[in-house]
Amino acid sequence: MKKYPTIGVVEFGSIADGIYCTDALLKKAPIAMLKSGTVSRGRYLIIIGGSTASVEESLNEAIAVGHASKLDHAFLPDVHPEVHDAVLGQRLPMQQDAVAILETETVAANVRAAEVALKGTKVRLVELRLAEYEMSGKAISLFNGELFEVEAAMELAGDFLRGRKEYVQHRIICQPHETLTEQLAGGTRFAANKPRELEGEEVS
Most confident of 113-117, 128-132, 158-162: 113-117
Q: What is the 3-state secondary structure (H, E, C) of 118-163?
A: HHHCCCEEEEEEECCHHHCCCEEEEEEECHHHHHHHHHHHHHHHCC
For residue 143, being part of any structural domain is answered with yes
| Paired residues of 46 in beta bridges | 10, 36
User: pTM to 2 decimals?
Assistant: 0.92
What's the confidence (pLDDT) of residue 203? 64
Give the chain's domain count: 2
Does 96 share its domain with 161?
A: yes
State the residue range of the domain holding 39: 6-77
Does 73 share its domain with 98?
A: no
Contact in structure between 123 and 151 (CB atoms under 8 Å): no
Does 112 share its domain with 176?
A: yes
Kindly state the percentage of the chain with pLDDT values over 90.
Answer: 86
Does 43 share its domain with 126?
A: no
What's the confidence (pLDDT) of residue 22? 98
For residue 17, being part of any structural domain is answered with yes
For residue 127, being part of any structural domain is answered with yes
What mean pLDDT is reported for the chain?
Answer: 95
**CATH number for the domain harbouring residue 141:** 3.30.70.1710
The yes-or-no verdict on residue 204 having pLDDT over 70 is no
For residue 197, being part of any structural domain is answered with no
